[in-house]
Structure 1
Amino acid sequence: MSRLFLVRHGPTHAKALIGWTDLPADLSDRARIARLSDWLPAKARLVSSDLTRTRTTADALATPDRVRLPDEPELRELHFGDWEGLSANEVEARDPELSRDFWTDPGATRPPGGESWHQMEARCSAALDRLMAAGGDLIVVCHFAVILGQIARHRGCPPREVLSQKIEPLSVTLVQQAPSGISVTPINHNP
Protein backbone atom coordinates (compact mmCIF):
# COMPACT_ATOMS: atom_id res chain seq x y z
CA MET A 1 0.00 0.00 0.00
CA SER A 2 1.31 3.42 -0.96
CA ARG A 3 0.49 6.56 0.99
CA LEU A 4 0.67 10.14 -0.21
CA PHE A 5 0.85 12.78 2.55
CA LEU A 6 -0.06 16.19 1.11
CA VAL A 7 1.16 18.90 3.49
CA ARG A 8 0.28 22.53 2.92
CA HIS A 9 3.23 24.87 3.44
CA GLY A 10 3.51 27.18 6.44
CA PRO A 11 1.45 30.40 6.48
CA THR A 12 2.44 33.36 4.31
CA HIS A 13 -0.07 35.83 5.83
CA ALA A 14 -0.76 37.18 2.32
CA LYS A 15 -4.30 38.44 1.75
CA ALA A 16 -4.25 38.04 -2.02
CA LEU A 17 -4.14 35.44 -4.79
CA ILE A 18 -0.62 34.07 -4.48
CA GLY A 19 0.36 31.42 -6.98
CA TRP A 20 3.86 31.55 -8.41
CA THR A 21 5.01 34.57 -6.39
CA ASP A 22 7.86 33.33 -4.21
CA LEU A 23 6.83 34.35 -0.69
CA PRO A 24 8.44 32.97 2.48
CA ALA A 25 6.53 30.85 4.99
CA ASP A 26 6.18 31.78 8.65
CA LEU A 27 7.68 28.77 10.44
CA SER A 28 7.84 30.36 13.88
CA ASP A 29 5.38 27.88 15.46
CA ARG A 30 8.02 25.24 16.18
CA ALA A 31 5.68 23.21 18.42
CA ARG A 32 3.13 22.84 15.62
CA ILE A 33 5.84 21.84 13.15
CA ALA A 34 7.14 19.26 15.64
CA ARG A 35 3.63 17.78 16.07
CA LEU A 36 3.21 17.61 12.31
CA SER A 37 6.61 15.98 11.87
CA ASP A 38 5.82 13.42 14.58
CA TRP A 39 2.50 12.55 12.88
CA LEU A 40 4.11 11.95 9.48
CA PRO A 41 5.79 8.62 8.72
CA ALA A 42 9.32 8.38 10.08
CA LYS A 43 10.64 6.71 6.92
CA ALA A 44 9.42 8.34 3.74
CA ARG A 45 10.53 10.26 0.71
CA LEU A 46 10.04 14.03 1.09
CA VAL A 47 9.56 16.48 -1.77
CA SER A 48 8.29 20.01 -2.27
CA SER A 49 7.60 22.47 -5.05
CA ASP A 50 10.47 24.79 -5.90
CA LEU A 51 8.91 27.83 -4.21
CA THR A 52 10.52 29.08 -0.98
CA ARG A 53 7.42 28.60 1.19
CA THR A 54 7.28 24.87 0.41
CA ARG A 55 11.04 24.27 0.37
CA THR A 56 11.57 25.75 3.83
CA THR A 57 8.55 23.91 5.22
CA ALA A 58 9.89 20.63 3.81
CA ASP A 59 13.32 21.37 5.25
CA ALA A 60 11.70 21.91 8.67
CA LEU A 61 10.10 18.44 8.39
CA ALA A 62 13.26 16.69 7.22
CA THR A 63 14.81 13.96 9.37
CA PRO A 64 17.68 11.53 8.74
CA ASP A 65 15.15 8.82 7.77
CA ARG A 66 13.22 11.03 5.34
CA VAL A 67 14.90 11.05 1.96
CA ARG A 68 14.75 14.64 0.63
CA LEU A 69 14.10 14.55 -3.10
CA PRO A 70 14.94 17.40 -5.50
CA ASP A 71 12.38 20.21 -5.67
CA GLU A 72 9.58 19.69 -8.22
CA PRO A 73 8.54 22.85 -10.13
CA GLU A 74 5.52 20.88 -11.44
CA LEU A 75 4.06 20.97 -7.91
CA ARG A 76 3.71 24.76 -7.86
CA GLU A 77 0.48 26.48 -6.90
CA LEU A 78 -2.10 27.44 -9.54
CA HIS A 79 -0.68 30.16 -11.80
CA PHE A 80 -2.95 33.20 -11.42
CA GLY A 81 -1.30 35.15 -14.26
CA ASP A 82 -2.43 38.80 -14.33
CA TRP A 83 -4.44 38.21 -11.14
CA GLU A 84 -1.32 37.33 -9.15
CA GLY A 85 -1.09 39.45 -5.99
CA LEU A 86 -4.61 40.87 -6.30
CA SER A 87 -7.39 40.41 -3.76
CA ALA A 88 -10.58 38.63 -4.83
CA ASN A 89 -12.34 42.02 -4.79
CA GLU A 90 -9.69 43.54 -7.07
CA VAL A 91 -10.01 40.63 -9.49
CA GLU A 92 -13.79 40.99 -9.52
CA ALA A 93 -13.53 44.72 -10.25
CA ARG A 94 -11.00 44.14 -13.03
CA ASP A 95 -12.63 41.11 -14.71
CA PRO A 96 -16.18 40.70 -13.35
CA GLU A 97 -17.45 38.06 -15.79
CA LEU A 98 -14.24 36.04 -15.95
CA SER A 99 -13.90 36.22 -12.16
CA ARG A 100 -17.42 34.87 -11.70
CA ASP A 101 -16.73 32.04 -14.17
CA PHE A 102 -13.45 31.20 -12.43
CA TRP A 103 -15.07 30.78 -9.00
CA THR A 104 -18.31 29.10 -10.14
CA ASP A 105 -16.77 26.72 -12.71
CA PRO A 106 -13.00 26.81 -12.24
CA GLY A 107 -12.17 23.73 -14.31
CA ALA A 108 -11.64 25.29 -17.72
CA THR A 109 -11.63 28.99 -16.81
CA ARG A 110 -8.16 30.51 -17.04
CA PRO A 111 -7.07 33.84 -15.53
CA PRO A 112 -5.42 36.10 -18.14
CA GLY A 113 -1.81 34.95 -18.51
CA GLY A 114 -2.38 32.10 -16.03
CA GLU A 115 -3.61 28.52 -16.10
CA SER A 116 -6.95 26.81 -15.59
CA TRP A 117 -7.68 24.42 -12.76
CA HIS A 118 -7.59 21.49 -15.22
CA GLN A 119 -4.16 22.56 -16.48
CA MET A 120 -2.81 22.81 -12.92
CA GLU A 121 -4.32 19.46 -11.94
CA ALA A 122 -2.85 17.72 -15.01
CA ARG A 123 0.58 19.23 -14.34
CA CYS A 124 0.59 18.22 -10.67
CA SER A 125 -0.98 14.80 -11.23
CA ALA A 126 1.70 13.86 -13.77
CA ALA A 127 4.44 14.76 -11.27
CA LEU A 128 2.73 12.96 -8.37
CA ASP A 129 2.07 9.83 -10.45
CA ARG A 130 5.74 9.75 -11.44
CA LEU A 131 6.85 10.17 -7.81
CA MET A 132 4.37 7.60 -6.48
CA ALA A 133 5.49 4.98 -9.03
CA ALA A 134 8.43 4.19 -6.73
CA GLY A 135 5.97 2.97 -4.07
CA GLY A 136 6.07 3.50 -0.33
CA ASP A 137 5.26 6.64 1.62
CA LEU A 138 5.70 10.05 0.01
CA ILE A 139 5.40 13.37 1.85
CA VAL A 140 4.69 16.26 -0.52
CA VAL A 141 4.86 19.82 0.79
CA CYS A 142 2.76 21.80 -1.64
CA HIS A 143 -0.04 24.33 -2.03
CA PHE A 144 -3.77 24.87 -1.45
CA ALA A 145 -4.95 24.34 -5.04
CA VAL A 146 -2.60 21.38 -5.56
CA ILE A 147 -4.17 19.62 -2.57
CA LEU A 148 -7.72 20.49 -3.63
CA GLY A 149 -6.92 19.26 -7.14
CA GLN A 150 -5.86 15.88 -5.78
CA ILE A 151 -8.98 15.63 -3.62
CA ALA A 152 -11.15 16.32 -6.68
CA ARG A 153 -9.12 13.92 -8.82
CA HIS A 154 -9.33 11.00 -6.42
CA ARG A 155 -12.98 11.61 -5.55
CA GLY A 156 -13.86 11.96 -9.23
CA CYS A 157 -15.66 15.28 -8.73
CA PRO A 158 -15.45 18.65 -10.48
CA PRO A 159 -13.21 21.35 -8.94
CA ARG A 160 -16.15 23.50 -7.85
CA GLU A 161 -17.19 20.75 -5.41
CA VAL A 162 -13.97 21.08 -3.41
CA LEU A 163 -13.39 24.84 -3.51
CA SER A 164 -15.10 25.35 -0.15
CA GLN A 165 -12.90 22.70 1.51
CA LYS A 166 -10.62 24.27 4.11
CA ILE A 167 -6.93 23.41 3.75
CA GLU A 168 -5.03 25.19 6.51
CA PRO A 169 -1.30 25.89 6.48
CA LEU A 170 0.69 23.00 7.98
CA SER A 171 -2.26 20.61 7.62
CA VAL A 172 -2.09 17.10 6.13
CA THR A 173 -4.37 15.41 3.61
CA LEU A 174 -3.76 11.69 3.19
CA VAL A 175 -4.30 9.80 -0.07
CA GLN A 176 -3.97 6.04 0.39
CA GLN A 177 -3.63 3.64 -2.50
CA ALA A 178 -4.59 0.07 -1.69
CA PRO A 179 -5.80 -2.95 -3.68
CA SER A 180 -9.38 -2.05 -2.76
CA GLY A 181 -9.08 1.48 -4.19
CA ILE A 182 -8.10 4.99 -3.19
CA SER A 183 -9.24 6.81 -0.07
CA VAL A 184 -8.74 10.48 0.75
CA THR A 185 -8.92 10.83 4.52
CA PRO A 186 -8.17 12.65 6.69
CA ILE A 187 -8.43 15.99 4.90
CA ASN A 188 -7.01 19.15 6.49
CA HIS A 189 -5.76 17.20 9.52
CA ASN A 190 -3.93 19.33 12.08
CA PRO A 191 -1.88 17.11 14.39
Structure 2
Amino acid sequence: MTRLHLVRHGPTHAKTMVGWSDIPADLSDHAALARLHAHLPRDALVISSDLSRAADTATAIQGTRRRLPHHPDLREIHFGTWEMRAFAEIEAEDPELAFAYWDSPGDVRPPNGESWNAVRARVDTAIDGLIGMHTGADLVIVAHFGVILTQVQRALDLDAQQTFAHRIDNLSVTELAFNGKTWSAGRINHLP
Protein backbone atom coordinates (compact mmCIF):
# COMPACT_ATOMS: atom_id res chain seq x y z
CA MET A 1 0.00 0.00 0.00
CA THR A 2 1.32 3.42 -0.98
CA ARG A 3 0.25 6.18 1.38
CA LEU A 4 0.07 9.81 0.34
CA HIS A 5 0.34 12.59 2.90
CA LEU A 6 -0.73 15.64 0.90
CA VAL A 7 0.39 18.83 2.64
CA ARG A 8 -0.79 22.25 1.56
CA HIS A 9 2.00 24.83 1.58
CA GLY A 10 2.23 27.66 4.10
CA PRO A 11 -0.01 30.71 3.61
CA THR A 12 0.83 33.42 1.10
CA HIS A 13 -1.70 35.97 2.39
CA ALA A 14 -2.47 36.88 -1.23
CA LYS A 15 -6.01 38.07 -1.89
CA THR A 16 -5.80 37.23 -5.57
CA MET A 17 -5.92 34.15 -7.80
CA VAL A 18 -2.49 32.60 -7.25
CA GLY A 19 -1.69 29.68 -9.49
CA TRP A 20 1.66 29.50 -11.24
CA SER A 21 2.97 32.81 -9.88
CA ASP A 22 5.95 32.08 -7.66
CA ILE A 23 5.24 33.95 -4.46
CA PRO A 24 6.69 32.93 -1.09
CA ALA A 25 4.90 31.26 1.79
CA ASP A 26 4.80 32.72 5.27
CA LEU A 27 6.61 30.07 7.30
CA SER A 28 6.78 32.06 10.53
CA ASP A 29 4.44 29.72 12.46
CA HIS A 30 7.24 27.50 13.74
CA ALA A 31 4.93 25.67 16.17
CA ALA A 32 2.58 24.61 13.34
CA LEU A 33 5.54 23.48 11.22
CA ALA A 34 6.94 21.49 14.15
CA ARG A 35 3.58 19.78 14.74
CA LEU A 36 3.33 18.95 11.05
CA HIS A 37 6.89 17.58 10.99
CA ALA A 38 6.18 15.41 14.04
CA HIS A 39 2.90 14.12 12.59
CA LEU A 40 4.37 12.83 9.31
CA PRO A 41 6.00 9.38 9.03
CA ARG A 42 9.73 9.55 9.75
CA ASP A 43 10.71 7.28 6.86
CA ALA A 44 8.56 9.06 4.26
CA LEU A 45 9.93 10.48 1.03
CA VAL A 46 9.30 14.21 0.55
CA ILE A 47 8.48 15.84 -2.78
CA SER A 48 6.98 19.18 -3.67
CA SER A 49 5.83 21.38 -6.48
CA ASP A 50 8.64 23.47 -7.96
CA LEU A 51 6.97 26.71 -6.82
CA SER A 52 8.81 28.24 -3.86
CA ARG A 53 5.81 28.32 -1.51
CA ALA A 54 5.60 24.53 -1.72
CA ALA A 55 9.34 23.82 -1.99
CA ASP A 56 10.16 26.01 1.02
CA THR A 57 7.37 24.43 3.07
CA ALA A 58 8.76 20.99 2.19
CA THR A 59 12.21 22.07 3.35
CA ALA A 60 10.73 23.38 6.62
CA ILE A 61 9.10 20.01 7.45
CA GLN A 62 11.62 17.64 5.85
CA GLY A 63 13.93 16.99 8.78
CA THR A 64 15.94 13.82 8.04
CA ARG A 65 13.45 12.49 5.49
CA ARG A 66 14.80 11.85 1.99
CA ARG A 67 13.91 14.57 -0.49
CA LEU A 68 12.96 13.87 -4.09
CA PRO A 69 13.42 16.51 -6.83
CA HIS A 70 10.72 19.17 -7.21
CA HIS A 71 7.97 18.19 -9.65
CA PRO A 72 6.51 20.91 -11.91
CA ASP A 73 3.36 18.85 -12.58
CA LEU A 74 2.44 19.28 -8.91
CA ARG A 75 1.87 23.00 -9.49
CA GLU A 76 -1.39 24.75 -8.68
CA ILE A 77 -4.08 25.42 -11.28
CA HIS A 78 -2.85 27.71 -14.05
CA PHE A 79 -5.26 30.66 -13.94
CA GLY A 80 -4.01 32.22 -17.20
CA THR A 81 -5.04 35.88 -17.51
CA TRP A 82 -6.81 35.65 -14.14
CA GLU A 83 -3.48 35.09 -12.41
CA MET A 84 -2.78 37.52 -9.53
CA ARG A 85 -6.12 39.29 -10.02
CA ALA A 86 -8.86 39.63 -7.41
CA PHE A 87 -11.97 37.52 -7.95
CA ALA A 88 -14.21 40.63 -7.87
CA GLU A 89 -12.23 42.09 -10.78
CA ILE A 90 -12.47 38.86 -12.76
CA GLU A 91 -16.18 38.56 -12.02
CA ALA A 92 -16.82 42.16 -13.12
CA GLU A 93 -14.99 41.51 -16.38
CA ASP A 94 -16.75 38.26 -17.29
CA PRO A 95 -19.35 37.20 -14.71
CA GLU A 96 -20.64 34.22 -16.70
CA LEU A 97 -17.22 32.66 -17.17
CA ALA A 98 -16.18 33.35 -13.57
CA PHE A 99 -19.37 31.72 -12.28
CA ALA A 100 -19.11 28.74 -14.66
CA TYR A 101 -15.48 28.06 -13.73
CA TRP A 102 -16.34 27.44 -10.07
CA ASP A 103 -19.96 26.29 -10.37
CA SER A 104 -19.54 23.87 -13.30
CA PRO A 105 -15.91 22.80 -13.08
CA GLY A 106 -14.77 20.49 -15.80
CA ASP A 107 -13.82 21.80 -19.20
CA VAL A 108 -14.40 25.49 -18.43
CA ARG A 109 -11.10 27.36 -18.41
CA PRO A 110 -9.93 30.88 -17.68
CA PRO A 111 -8.47 32.69 -20.70
CA ASN A 112 -5.04 31.14 -21.40
CA GLY A 113 -5.40 28.91 -18.34
CA GLU A 114 -6.27 25.34 -17.36
CA SER A 115 -9.64 23.71 -16.94
CA TRP A 116 -10.30 21.56 -13.87
CA ASN A 117 -10.19 18.44 -16.05
CA ALA A 118 -6.77 19.47 -17.43
CA VAL A 119 -5.41 20.02 -13.90
CA ARG A 120 -6.79 16.67 -12.78
CA ALA A 121 -5.20 14.85 -15.74
CA ARG A 122 -1.83 16.54 -15.15
CA VAL A 123 -1.77 15.76 -11.43
CA ASP A 124 -3.10 12.20 -11.82
CA THR A 125 -0.25 11.45 -14.24
CA ALA A 126 2.33 12.88 -11.82
CA ILE A 127 0.92 10.98 -8.83
CA ASP A 128 0.68 7.74 -10.82
CA GLY A 129 4.34 8.13 -11.76
CA LEU A 130 5.36 8.71 -8.14
CA ILE A 131 3.37 5.68 -6.99
CA GLY A 132 4.93 3.59 -9.75
CA MET A 133 8.45 4.58 -8.73
CA HIS A 134 7.85 4.31 -4.97
CA THR A 135 5.22 1.59 -4.54
CA GLY A 136 4.61 0.80 -0.88
CA ALA A 137 6.24 3.98 0.39
CA ASP A 138 4.91 6.86 2.43
CA LEU A 139 5.03 9.96 0.24
CA VAL A 140 4.79 13.45 1.71
CA ILE A 141 3.68 15.61 -1.19
CA VAL A 142 3.78 19.34 -0.50
CA ALA A 143 1.58 21.06 -3.02
CA HIS A 144 -1.41 23.33 -3.50
CA PHE A 145 -5.14 23.54 -2.88
CA GLY A 146 -6.12 22.43 -6.40
CA VAL A 147 -3.57 19.62 -6.53
CA ILE A 148 -4.80 18.15 -3.25
CA LEU A 149 -8.44 18.44 -4.31
CA THR A 150 -7.76 16.51 -7.53
CA GLN A 151 -6.63 13.55 -5.46
CA VAL A 152 -9.53 13.87 -3.00
CA GLN A 153 -11.82 13.73 -6.03
CA ARG A 154 -10.03 10.64 -7.26
CA ALA A 155 -9.99 8.78 -3.93
CA LEU A 156 -13.61 9.53 -3.05
CA ASP A 157 -14.88 9.19 -6.65
CA LEU A 158 -16.63 12.56 -6.56
CA ASP A 159 -17.64 14.90 -9.31
CA ALA A 160 -15.75 18.18 -9.46
CA GLN A 161 -18.52 20.24 -7.88
CA GLN A 162 -18.72 17.86 -4.88
CA THR A 163 -14.94 18.04 -4.60
CA PHE A 164 -14.96 21.83 -4.26
CA ALA A 165 -17.05 21.48 -1.09
CA HIS A 166 -13.91 20.25 0.72
CA ARG A 167 -11.78 22.69 2.63
CA ILE A 168 -7.99 22.41 2.38
CA ASP A 169 -6.24 24.74 4.83
CA ASN A 170 -2.64 25.85 4.69
CA LEU A 171 -0.32 23.44 6.54
CA SER A 172 -3.01 20.76 6.63
CA VAL A 173 -2.50 17.08 5.78
CA THR A 174 -4.83 14.99 3.64
CA GLU A 175 -4.16 11.27 3.91
CA LEU A 176 -4.93 8.97 0.96
CA ALA A 177 -3.80 5.45 0.13
CA PHE A 178 -3.62 3.29 -2.99
CA ASN A 179 -3.33 -0.50 -2.72
CA GLY A 180 -2.62 -1.11 -6.40
CA LYS A 181 -6.30 -1.36 -7.30
CA THR A 182 -8.40 0.96 -5.18
CA TRP A 183 -8.08 4.28 -3.40
CA SER A 184 -9.04 5.01 0.17
CA ALA A 185 -9.18 8.24 2.14
CA GLY A 186 -8.19 8.86 5.72
CA ARG A 187 -8.27 12.30 7.25
CA ILE A 188 -8.91 15.23 4.93
CA ASN A 189 -7.68 18.70 5.89
CA HIS A 190 -6.19 17.51 9.19
CA LEU A 191 -4.36 20.20 11.14
CA PRO A 192 -1.88 18.47 13.48
SS at the partner of 1:108? coil
CA distance in 2, matches of 1:104, 1:179: 33
Residue of structure 2 equivalent to 1:69: 68
Separation in structure 2 between the aligned mates of residue 179 and residue 166 of structure 1, nearest angstrom = 27
- The aligned amino acid for 2:32 is R
Question: Kindly, what percent of the aligned residue pairs are identical?
Answer: 48
Q: 1:49 to 1:180 in 2, by over 3 A?
A: closer
Q: Which amino acid aligns with 1:107?
A: G
1:6-58, Cα deviation, whole Å (9 max, x unpaired): 00000000111100010100000111100001000000110000000000000
Aligned pairs, number: 190
Unaligned runs of 5+ in 1: none
In structure 2, stretches of 5+ residues that fail to align are none
Where 1:110 maps in the other structure, the secondary structure is: coil
Asked whether 1:56 is paired with 2:65, we answer no
Matches within 5 A, 1:19-168: 19-64=19-64, 66-133=65-132, 134-135=134-135, 136-168=137-169
Distance 1:126 1:181 in 2: 16
State how far apart, in whole Å, the 2-side matches of 1:83 and 1:33 are: 31
Q: CA deviation at 1:180?
A: 7.9
- TM-score normalised to structure 1 length: 0.96
Aligned equivalents of 1:103, 1:142: Cα separation in 2: 20
Inter-partner Cα distance in structure 2 for 1:115 and 1:152: 17
1:185 paired with 2:186, answer yes
Q: Aligned equivalents of 2:157 and 2:165: distance in 1?
A: 16
Mapped to 1, the partners of 2:160 and 2:147 lie a distance apart of: 11
Q: Cα offset for 1:176?
A: 1.4
Opposite residue 116 of structure 2, the aligned amino acid is W
Instruction: Provide Cα deviations, 1:36-85, integer angstroms capped at 9, x if missing partner.
Output: 01000000110000000000000001122x11000000000000000011
CA RMSD of superposed structures (Å)? 1.1
The Cα shift of 1:165 comes to: 1.3
Q: Which runs of 4+ in 1 moved over 4 A?
A: none
Letter paired with 1:97: E
Alpha-carbon distance in structure 2 between the residues aligned to 1:118 and 1:75: 15
For normalisation by structure 2, the TM-score amounts to 0.96
